Every structure is written in structure tokens, then in C-alpha cells.
Amino acid sequence: MTTTLPGFSGLFRKELLEWRRGRRTWVVLLVSIPFMALTALNAWLQETIATAEGVEIPPPNMDPMVNLLAAVSTQIFVVVTIFAVMSLLIAERESGTLAWTASKPVSRAGIWLAKWLSATGILWLLAGLLPLAATVAVVIVLYGPLQAASIALVALGIGMAIALFGAIVLAASTVITSQAAVAAIGLAAVFLPAVVGALIPIAPYLPTSILEWTLLTASGQDAGFATPISWAASVVLLVVFAARRMGQLDL
């Protein structure tokens, strides 16, 4: 890595240190954990309240896996990723620290990769795994046991979604210099395919369907391999595109 991407280890360590020292880490945790855990609590709350109030409502689904997937399907970690990543490159470009770093003997592709890989890793942990652990705990206590393999697959799907949307936002940041605009691109990537997919049956071929793919697979359904192939191809294309763009930037 050091020979192909000079300076990468120093860049990567700096990114990790910035996450460790910044307030962003706490904001991500404070948003993600309650959001997912409370979503998993929903069915139990409905039932408890209906019973206490003596109200007739359709019985909520108390299946553990369904409630885990309901919490994960909110995609809060994707929204958190978009907002946490949108400033990573643009703010540094505006402040001049990107030019400063780029004047050192480092690869510009390495600067981008260090940001993307560190953000993916940290956000997978903070917005994905820790909230998932809290949610799993809630689900097991309220609804019953879950299969470890399913949990692992969901965790993987969350990581893949975070990696994809982080790459989309960071790749957009090499072209656009407005944080709001790259956030809008990220959100469009989340919601537009769902809208288009409802009209034309292309959802399985979209890389942004990776979470749905893992959730379907985790719940024992055959989801094919089109989505993970599309995901992998898209990630590679985004990385290549961003690396090229970084090399072309006048700083």
C-alpha cells in the first residue's frame, strides 16, 4: 500500500485520530443507537399500549427477525453516513488543508482512499454495529432469539451500504464544492432508485439495493447475485473515478 499509495498510512492514521477527537463520533452514536433500538421497540410498545388501554388493533408482528429487519430497514446509518461524510473532503478543500496535505509526498488517490476507508470503518462501527448490537439486545429481550448467521449477514449488509453511500458522497465531493449538493446527491441515491424501482423492475440490479439484498438473504430468501455484483462494480467504478478526479483537481 505504501509503495502504490505513498503516505497512505500517515493519512489513514490522521483520519482515525480526527474521528476519535471530533464531536462527530458522539453525534453519530447518539443518533444511531436510539433510532434503531426504538424502532425495534415499536411492535412491543403497540401491543403493550393496546393491552393497557384495552384498544382493538391488528396484532403487531412479534417475530424477532421481522422486528430486527424493521429497525435496519430505516437505513438511519445510510442517512448518518451521508451527513457525516459530506464535509470530509469539501471542508478541507475550502480551508486549504487539502492543498497543504497534497503538497506533501502523498498520492492524491491515497488522500481520498484514507478518508473513505476510515469513514467506512468508523461508521460501520458507530452507526452500524453498535446500534445493531443494541437493537439485537432489544429484539432478543422483547421478541425472542435470533440466528447468529442472520445477524452477521445484516451486519455485513449495513457495512456494504455504508461503504457504497460513503463512496458516492466522497466521489461527488471531488466534482462539487457544496456540502449541501453532495448530501442531496447522496440522498437522491438512497431514494430515487426506490422510486424508479417501483415503476420498472430494476431494483435487483441496482447497487443501492445491497441492504435489501442482505435482508432478504438473512431472512432465508433467494435474492440471486445481481445486486452484490452490481454493488462491487459500482464501488470499484466510484473509487477509480474519484482517484482520477483527485489527480485532476487544481488546489
Residues that bind another protein (CB under 8 A): 2, 6-7, 9-11, 13-14, 18, 21-22, 95-97, 99-107, 248, 250-251
Closest approach, Cβ 183 to another protein, in A, equals: 23
Closest approach, Cβ 49 to another protein, in A, equals: 46
Q: Which DSSP string do the residues of the chain spell out, in sequence order?
A: -TTTSTTHHHHHHHHHHHHHHSSHHHHHHHHHHHHHHHHHHHHHHHHHHHHHHT---PPPP--HHHHHHHHHHT-HHHHHHHHHHTTTTHHHHHHTHHHHHHTSS--HHHHHHHHHHHHHHHHIIIIIIHHHHHHHHHHHHHT----HHHHHHHHHHHHHHHHHHHHHHHHHHTT---HHHHHHHHHHHHHHHHHHHHHSS-GGG-GGGHHHHHHHHHTT----SHHHHHHHHHHHHHHHHHHHHHHH---
**Rounded Cα–Cα distance for residues 55 and 58 (Å):** 10
- Cβ proximity to another protein: between 53 and 250 the closer is 250
- Cβ proximity to another protein: between 68 and 111 the closer is 111
- Cβ proximity to another protein: between 9 and 221 the closer is 9
b vs e for 59-94, b when ≥16 Cβ sit within 10 Å of the residue's Cβ? ebeeebbebbbbbbeebbbbbbbbbbbbbbbbebbe
Closest approach, Cβ 105 to another protein, in A, equals: 4
**Rounded Cα–Cα distance for residues 171 and 240 (Å):** 9
- Cβ proximity to another protein: between 18 and 47 the closer is 18
Closest approach, Cβ 27 to another protein, in A, equals: 16
- Cβ proximity to another protein: between 59 and 96 the closer is 96
Closest approach, Cβ 101 to another protein, in A, equals: 7
Closest approach, Cβ 13 to another protein, in A, equals: 7
Closest approach, Cβ 70 to another protein, in A, equals: 38
- Cβ proximity to another protein: between 115 and 136 the closer is 115
Among candidate residues 233, 221, 224, the one with its CA nearest the CA of residue 201: 224
- Cβ proximity to another protein: between 102 and 125 the closer is 102
